[in-house]
Amino acid sequence: MGIVRFWKDLSVSKKLYTVVGILAFMIATELLTLIFAMNTLSAVRAFVAGEAIWSKAQKDAVHNLERYVVTSNRRFYLQFLENLKIPAGDRVARLELEAPVMDMQKLRDGFLAGGNHPDDIQSVVNLMRRFSDVPHVQKAVAAWREGDSLIDELQLLGVQIDNEVSKGIRKRNNQKISEALDEIYVLNQKLTAVETDFSNTLGAASRWVEGLLAAFLILLVITIEGTGLGLTFIFSRRLTTDLQQLNVVADKVGNGEFDVDVPVNSKDEVGQLALSLKHMVSNIQQLIDDKRTAVHASQTKNLFLANMSHEIRTPLNAILGFTELMRDPELSDSDKIHYLDIIKRTGNNLATIINDILDLSKVEADQMEVETEVFSLSQLMQDLYLLLGMRAKEKGIEFKIQKKGEVSECIQTDPGRLRQVLLNLAGNAIKFTERGSVNLSYEVRGHYLFFTVKDTGKGIPKTQLNSLFKPFSQGDSSVSKKFGGTGLGLILSKKLAQLMGGDIGLLESTYQRGSTFYIKVAYQPVYEGKQRVSEVSQEQKAPQNFEKLAGKKVLIVEDTKDNQVLLNLYLAKVGMKVSFADNGEEGIKKALIESYDIVLMDMQMPVKDGYEATKELRSKGYQVPIVALTGYAMKGDREKCLRAGCNDYIAKPVSKSQLMTTVHQLVVKEETNETVAQENFITV
């Protein structure tokens, strides 16, 4: 499978190169085999030629020896000895061929002495090396070895004859000469038989080599042709199949079927083309899905805007209406107080709606941060009970808060956000419950503080479960809802819970019978913080005394006249002397000319904004506390104001208590620090 996968992933060009390369390699192998066959057969031919020279020399030696006996002419004996030098040279070559380590020079000299052609020597050596273990070669060498042994006997008989012939005609022993000639005759027949056997063996070896090489060449040719045809067939079939599949996919895409699966069978050029087509189809499908999502989001957004229009216009209608009624001079004091309560309550509801929208925007923009601190969990639950218990009582339903198991008195998380989440879920439960009860329980589960909100209300239909935690959606999505609300509470609560290391979800819900939600946050118990929390709580509950602010001078740099009037009413009521500047440039001039105890700086103004004005004042050594007033409440806005040189930050709409507390802390603290510094200076 690995080879098949590798071949499929190989590029088309490399596949072609591979096919051509394999064929070229096999053709080269065939050519080398032919060359090898030619060399081998040439070596056999050289062996045969050498055997002919050897045989002729042996016959000539016998013939010259016979003539020597007849004529007693020593010239023929010398020719006999010369003839035997050829078998002697071949014997030297044979002995070197059989030696473990060949002496090539000695071997070459032996073959040359044996009458072999110099160009045939190396091919004969190669033949003996390559085929030394082949039976035909071994048999031929054995015959060669036997022939050399018979030549030795012939040479001894020649010496005996020479000894008798040298005595002269009268003294020689013709009987011995005759017996020697008979033995030579027998040797000659044996040599002839050995020579014939040698020649036959070489012939059989030649035919064996020819057959072997022919079979190999035929097999090689079949392999080359088969491999070429096989690779071509596989390659063309795969290419055709892939292209046909791509054509089918292209036709479907052209007809608008974008959910088709594009097969990617390889990593070659065709596979890359298929992958590109797959990505293109996926991108088109994604664009279609994005378009559908955008259309749905637009519809949801429009519905949300319609809801917001209703939710915002309703309290605005009450505020504007009762404000107009307040202008009636005949209105009684009790009615005025009642109308003012309505205006305040409606304004708070409107602020809650705006805060929910801003909080969700912060979370979606990853600009929401939780501020962890140690606080009393039981105190938080008591506050929730007091607030939600009144709502439940007004509706005639029961509201309970229950602690299960051991839970630390003090924990560390963001108390404001935890309170917001619990108020939202428990408030929803009370809002959607017409009769029965709402139970809020909490316990420790593993590493989480686990809250459960269970009600006996209207429940949630299955068709609305998927959109439960989506923004701009609500169980009842019509504009004229019975229960009101923006549809942001659950998604905002879920994201806040996630920021606190937990989550929110629906445990169960039965339509017309009730629902059970859970809230979990990271559980960080603080067992030594009870006393400190109690002290902080007492400090927070202690009434603020703003008498020390009387006579203090404050510069309000604000471009909106209505805000100037409101801030003046807050501050002048405690006896502070208020001055105004309409923009940053005017604020800088007044701050440097007159002496003030504190500056309230709006950060968004014409001519020169609050950031530039604050930076310029600080660059000139201005040390008076500056408090930023801004409608920006996103992540980083507070830090931006502090980096500009502000001492503190208040987001609009400005709370009177927060404003007075901040001014009091900065002015009195500044005054206290100066007093302490003077005392320390005097002490020194």
What's at 276, amino acid-wise?
Answer: S
pLDDT, one tens digit per residue, over 428-437 is 899 889 889 9
Q: Helix, strand, coil shares of the chain as percentages rounded to 5?
A: 65, 10, 25
In 3D space, the residue among 385, 506, 416 whose CA is nearest the CA of residue 455 turns out to be 506
Q: Tens digit of pLDDT for each residue in 600-630?
A: 999 989 889 999 999 999 999 999 999 999 8
Q: What's the pLDDT score for residue 646?
A: 94
Identify the pLDDT of residue 151: 87
Cβ atoms of residues 643 and 615 within 8 Å? no
Distances in whole angstroms, Cα of residue 635 to Cα of each of 79, 361, 399, 628: 123, 10, 36, 15
pLDDT of res. 229: 80
| pLDDT for position 635 | 60
- Concatenated DSSP letters of 581-620: ESSHHHHHHHHHHS--SEEEEESS-SSS-HHHHHHHHHHT
Nearby residues of 127 by Cβ (< 8 Å), 6 or more positions away: 40, 43, 44, 47, 137
Q: CA 603 from chain center: how many Å?
A: 45
* Helix/strand/coil (H/E/C) assignment for every residue in 242-255: HHHHHHHHHHHHHC
Strands 553-557 and 648-651, how do they pair? unpaired
pLDDT of residue 62: 86
According to DSSP H, which parts of 99-134 are helical?
Answer: 104-113, 118-130
DSSP string, 294-357: HHHHHHHHHHHHHHHHHHHHHHHHHHHHHHHHHT-TT--HHHHHHHHHHHHHHHHHHHHHHHHH
Question: From the CA atom positions of the chain, what is the Rg in Å?
Answer: 58
How is residue 548 annotated by DSSP?
A: G
Which segments of the chain have a pLDDT < 50? 477-480, 534-542, 674-684
Sign of dihedral through CA atoms 535, 536, 541, 545? positive
In this predicted structure, what is the pLDDT of residue 479?
Answer: 34
Distance from the first to the final alpha carbon of the chain: 92
Regarding pTM above 0.95, the answer is no
User: Given phi > 0 = left and psi -120 to 50 = alpha, else beta, which region is 554?
Assistant: beta
pLDDT at 318: 67
Q: How far apart are CA 145 and CA 99, in angstroms?
A: 14
pLDDT for position 536: 47
- Burial class of 219 by CB neighbour count within 10 A (0 to 12, 13 to 18, 19+): exposed
